[in-house]
Structure 1
Amino acid sequence: MENKRWHNHYPNEIPTSIEYVEKPLQVFLEESVQRHGEEKAIHFMGKEMTYNEVYSQSQKMANYLQSLGLNKGDKVAIMLPNSPQSVIGYYGTLMAGGVVVQTNPLYTERELEFQLIDSEAKFIICLDILVPRVTNVRGRTHLEHTIVTGIKDYLPFPKNLIYPFIQKREYNMVVKVEQTEDTHVWKHLMEMAATDYLEPEIKPKEDLALLQYTGGTTGNPKGVMLTHYNLVSNVQMCEAWLYKTKDSRQSTLAVLPFFHVYGMTTVMNFSVMQGSKMILMPKFNPNDVLKTISKEKPTLFPGAPTIYIGLLNHPDLHKYDLSSIEACISGSAPLPHEVQEQFEKVTGGRLVEGYGLTESSPVTHANFVWNKRVNGSIGVPWPDTDAKIFRADTDLEEADIGEVGELAVKGPQIMKGYWKNPEETEKVLKDGWLFTGDLGYMDEDGYFYIVDRKKDMIIAGGYNIYPREVEEVLYEHEAIQEAVVAGIPDPYRGETVKAYVVLKEGSNVTEDELNAFARENLAAYKVPRIYEFRSELPKTAVGKILRRRLVDEEKEKLSKV
């Protein structure tokens, strides 16, 4: 790759170009077994498994799927929270030659039905409490087999005995599943299946490893086709970036869900590649996370701003030892500078902002963890990743330094395209460039900045207003825990700026006080005209605040007036 201005800031330890291995993603697990077979791969609510155990059970999953008729390229939906089963199901599917379709356990029946039909999944691996939901849609999909497991399957004694009572209390159900021709019980599978399986011939640059669905903020979700090579190259980039962690003794806190591509790459695949331990947490609960960090001492903690904010605002934060944390890369949403500073002070580790999207496996940019970083910047492109800012509505016309335009990226981690959707593929893939839909600029040093999503930009009274800029100011107010800004319809200005805020526990501030604070720090046309105080904000599974949902709520209110 030709020298780029950001390469001047690369430390000696990080190469600007990497020799990528052309092999199936699951080979990382096989290699880690050879090097670290007896070392711990998983810690899950007190239960630990070695790499040998994870590999053996993944082999059994591959064997069983093939015995049910899985052929190379068949889709296997995995509808699980972070758990040993989510790792075993994922690698077992790849070993059998299947394509993983990560499926959010929180999906409604409508969302689940769309994804199963669109992906043409023939198999699904799900939790017992999700069986009724799967059963209700199954007849309208391509599903042929359901594999059912429960959280208690991998809990240590006596938690495995207590869990059914907890499940009944929390979900008001205890589902009992019987083994049939098309419904398969996980524990039966692990007892009956052999470890030998037919190893498929994989062409890493051509064959899909994953169909990962985008959030569907505009229209139906799209299936992003990621090849083995896409995912392998992004994991190798990740290892190069985190060069101080090339050690199996590292451990990673797995709060980010594996059904999201960010958690899948930076936690699961990265840990498996290194042969290090994953500390799995099925959901984000600040109290549980603080206890786990204090007890299990993870060294890496990839996350999202709302996760770090939730921990920093916990009333008992001072009671826990978080000093084991060495490095965190924050993604999925802009990282407020205040949050970065506070979290580094509490842990003594480094927290830097990165950037990526589902279509790029996902990471394309990050600040250096142990070298130069720039506050407010998403950092610089990763090895072998090119990035440019193009002027809006032009035919690949590059913007000047400092000029705002649309960010486009190019590299070995960029998707093959959208599943069964050539029209949408053509809209975002142009001449090898992936157009991200994000507006940003590059400075003279090659550091990139995102000012906002193209579709989230607010145009009020003819002025372009970027919500992120307003949110950064609001986060500086001592009473605010979370804030999001959106443009809502206005008959006079076209749109007007509205701020939705969550206050820190015990804090109090009026709309007039917030307005005065904003006016001290923002041009008048950027100041929110309306403030709404909420107890919580709508979020995705990885903690990304759903701005568009708030906008939709406003439109629905107006339609009823």
Structure 2
Amino acid sequence: MAAEQPGDRLLTPHRPAPQDLAAYFHTGGTIGVPKVAPHTHAMEVYMAWALGCTGAYLDDAVGLWGLPLFHVDAVHVTGLAPFLHGRPVVSLGPLGYRDKTLMAEFWQIIEHFKVTGFSGVPTAYANLPPVPPDVDISSLRAGAVSAAPLPKTVCTAFESSTRVPMLEGYGLTEATCATATNPAFAPREGAVGLRLPYQHVKAVTVDADGKPVGDCLPGETGVLAVKGPSVFPGYLRPGPDGPAPDPAGKVFDGWLLTGDLGRVDEDGYVCLTGRAKDLIIRGGHNIDPRPIEESLPAHPEVTAAAVIGAPDPYSGEVPAACVVVTANPRATEDDLLAWAKLHAPEPAAAPKAVHIVHALPTTLIGKT
């Protein structure tokens, strides 16, 4: 194909239109088999522009590229968006945040290239090395995090060591990349930010089939729904003329049902509370594992935790915790279980078991 083209230009038989497909992305796959989410040219151009409205690419901004390129954050937040706004990006190479040799000099890289901001998932921040006392990171303005719930301990450790804010955002592959971001000068604790321009976000109630049946009031928790130019045309599914986007069961009257539980307050801040499929149903009582997971790292010997629903013949499901501990811990699993029950957010959320594991399984971008 290249040999058929002139040496000084490309002759394209078809010039892409806004609704033509530009890329295929796989969803994260943390709650099941990954699905293929097509993106159109209009979605990608819109996202590159909208991310610029956050102010992340102004003036002398320098980005850092550490997530793999099969992920929408890498392509958009540290790819198309800074390129559209004419800002440079420092690449950490093919392994990115997973390159242990390179990450040992992470803060020296920030100093050398005068990086102003970078984005990553919570596990990437949790694994950052300590900031050396002789390294100048005064160019850094903020850290951005999304893709998974941010533990308070990770946020506090980053902000205290770098003296810059951690700005949490929210997005998903089915809505191109980003839907909400916390404004740098008006962040709200516990929120993932305000909607990006031309997107709309609300919480809805759903029926037994997962279809939306009504809007939630401000501050009321439901399933988050997104509408606007970022919404994808549907998952790639087999069709009579070959695979094609199909919005059935995911997009209703233009509203994308995210599957995430959350609320939108009276000021428009979006608060994420968990995944609908992650809920543990204990005897008819819905338990969100996230508050339990956030309570466990408060133990001095616990460095990471994940809570799942374990089968129970009486209650159907009960919370069970898997924890990673420090080297040479003194606490046993029984000790940690007693501690977890004492610090559970509610009696029903008290784990019935605590298992010490070597590490938590993660996807290639670091999502548990």
TM bucket, shorter chain = 0.7 to 0.9
> Match of 1:294?
108
> Can you list the C-alpha shifts for 1:416-443, whole angstroms capped at 9, x where unaligned?
2222357962101100000001112222
Stretches (4+) displaced over 6 A:
none
* Counterparts in 2 of 1:520 and 1:231: CA distance versus 1, 3 Å: same
> Match of 1:380?
194
Q: Does 1:354 align with 2:169?
A: yes
Structure 2: how far apart are the matches of 1:364 and 1:430?
18
Structure 1: how far apart are the matches of 2:285 and 2:292?
14
Structure 1 position 340, deviation (Å): 1.3
> Match of 1:263?
74
- One-letter amino acid of the counterpart of residue 202, structure 1: R
Correspondence list, 1:130-169, <5 A:
none
* Counterparts in 2 of 1:266 and 1:388: CA distance versus 1, 3 Å: same
> Match of 1:415?
232
Q: Would the aligned equivalents of 1:340 and 1:352 in 2 still touch at CA under 8 Å?
A: no
Correspondence list, 1:145-544, <5 A:
194-199=7-12, 201-216=14-29, 220-241=33-54, 243=55, 245-247=57-59, 249-281=60-92, 282-283=94-95, 284-295=98-109, 296=112, 297-311=114-128, 314=129, 321-368=136-183, 370-393=184-207, 395-420=212-237, 425-505=247-327, 507-518=329-340, 519-544=342-367
Higher helix share: 1
Q: Would the aligned equivalents of 2:318 and 2:351 in 1 still touch at CA under 8 Å?
A: yes
Structure 1: how far apart are the matches of 2:325 and 2:236?
42
Correspondence list, 1:5-154, <5 A:
65-67=1-3
Structure 1 position 211, deviation (Å): 1.0
Structure 1 position 516, deviation (Å): 4.0
Structure 2: how far apart are the matches of 1:513 and 1:405?
36
Structure 1: how far apart are the matches of 2:188 and 2:16?
39
Structure 1: how far apart are the matches of 2:4 and 2:162?
48
Structure 2: how far apart are the matches of 1:372 and 1:316?
26
> Can you list the C-alpha shifts for 1:376-411, whole angstroms capped at 9, x where unaligned?
222221111101111121644111233221110011
Structure 1 position 323, deviation (Å): 3.9
Structure 1 position 298, deviation (Å): 1.7
* Counterparts in 2 of 1:267 and 1:508: CA distance versus 1, 3 Å: farther
Structure 1 position 451, deviation (Å): 1.8
* Counterparts in 2 of 1:200 and 1:277: CA distance versus 1, 3 Å: farther
Structure 1 position 289, deviation (Å): 2.5
Structure 2: runs of 5 or more not aligned: 239-243
* Counterparts in 2 of 1:338 and 1:433: CA distance versus 1, 3 Å: same
Cα root mean square deviation, aligned = 2.5
Q: Would the aligned equivalents of 2:233 and 2:245 in 1 still touch at CA under 8 Å?
A: no
Structure 2: how far apart are the matches of 1:448 and 1:317?
35
> Alignment partner of 2:53: what SS?
helix
Structure 1: how far apart are the matches of 2:267 and 2:68?
34
* Counterparts in 2 of 1:318 and 1:511: CA distance versus 1, 3 Å: farther
Higher strand share: 2
Q: Would the aligned equivalents of 1:326 and 1:348 in 2 still touch at CA under 8 Å?
A: no
- One-letter amino acid of the counterpart of residue 90, structure 2: I
> Can you list the C-alpha shifts for 1:345-401, whole angstroms capped at 9, x where unaligned?
222222111111111111101211x22222222222111110111112164411123
Bigger mean CA offset, 445-454 vs 420-429: 420-429
- One-letter amino acid of the counterpart of residue 223, structure 1: V
Structure 2: how far apart are the matches of 1:273 and 1:506?
50
Structure 1: how far apart are the matches of 2:356 and 2:137?
31
Structure showing greater Rg = 1
TM-score by length of 1: 0.59
* Counterparts in 2 of 1:316 and 1:432: CA distance versus 1, 3 Å: closer
* Counterparts in 2 of 1:318 and 1:460: CA distance versus 1, 3 Å: farther
> Alignment partner of 1:245: what SS?
coil
Structure 1: how far apart are the matches of 2:135 and 2:326?
20
> Alignment partner of 1:426: what SS?
coil
Structure 1 position 277, deviation (Å): 2.2
Structure 1 position 310, deviation (Å): 0.5
The percentage of aligned residue pairs carrying the same residue is 35
> Can you list the C-alpha shifts for 1:442-487, whole angstroms capped at 9, x where unaligned?
2233222222111110001221100111111123333222111111
Structure 2: how far apart are the matches of 1:481 and 1:217?
21
Q: Would the aligned equivalents of 1:210 and 1:225 in 2 still touch at CA under 8 Å?
A: yes
Structure 2: how far apart are the matches of 1:367 and 1:359?
20
Q: Would the aligned equivalents of 1:391 and 1:405 in 2 still touch at CA under 8 Å?
A: yes
* Equivalent residue pairs, number: 353
- One-letter amino acid of the counterpart of residue 351, structure 2: P
- One-letter amino acid of the counterpart of residue 326, structure 1: R
> Match of 2:241?
none
